Structure 1
Amino acid sequence: MKKNILVVDDQAGIRMLLEDVLTYEGFEVKTCATGMEALTELRQVPYDLVILDYKLPVLDGMEVIRHLEAENIDVPAVLISGLVEEFSEATEDSQLIKAVIGKPFNVQEIGSVIKGVVSPP
């Protein structure tokens, strides 16, 4: 059975790139553009991994993580951002965050990080 990954980024190009790469790697991929969409989706469907942009409109990646933790939704998360240095300390307290990847990212690097968190089918 394929592993489910939710990709959350407000940039359509990043969502499409990650969806293509992860689908090619054998994962089932769904995408969302906002933190609110992601929360709604994660409350309804169990995912094996969520890839979250740190900077999202209205509800940012860390706020999504805090909601998931408060609601006991146990899904491993990978945060992506162009501001890695600014928020890496904030991520240390979260049990859900398994990796932080800077933008722009190398497609092979993100693929291997994700496989390290969730092994492909």
Structure 2
Amino acid sequence: MKVQQEGFLYMDVLASLFVMSLLCSTLFVLMMSSIQQYGKMMEEDRTLQSMILYMEEGKASWASGTSSESDEPPNVGMTSFQRRVEISPEGVHVLTVIAYRHGEEIHRFTTYLLERSQ
């Protein structure tokens, strides 16, 4: 009778150990996934902040009458930026900032520019 109880306790400990190791492994995988997602979100945040800054620099260059092509685009990891001023069919100047990652467009910001003050 005593042997059966020890065997039962032995199997109970093994089952508990298996469940706990499975739980720990699952938590580890979820934690690593969260860390990767956090890294991607931080890179996306830096990209959007850089685009806004690059657009504001373009608007300031436009207002002061200097060329916006001479400004250095921001550097954010694998993301490159392009800024251009075009004239819309209505005759309004339009500033566009485009972000590319691995040669693919990921974001595009567009704003109208006021006429330069003399």
The bucket for the TM-score relative to the shorter chain is under 0.3
Larger Cα Rg: Structure 1 or Structure 2? Answer: 2
Higher helix share: 2
Report which structure shows greater RCO (CA 8 Å, sep ≥6). 1
TM-score (normalised: structure 1): 0.24
TM-score (normalised: structure 2): 0.24
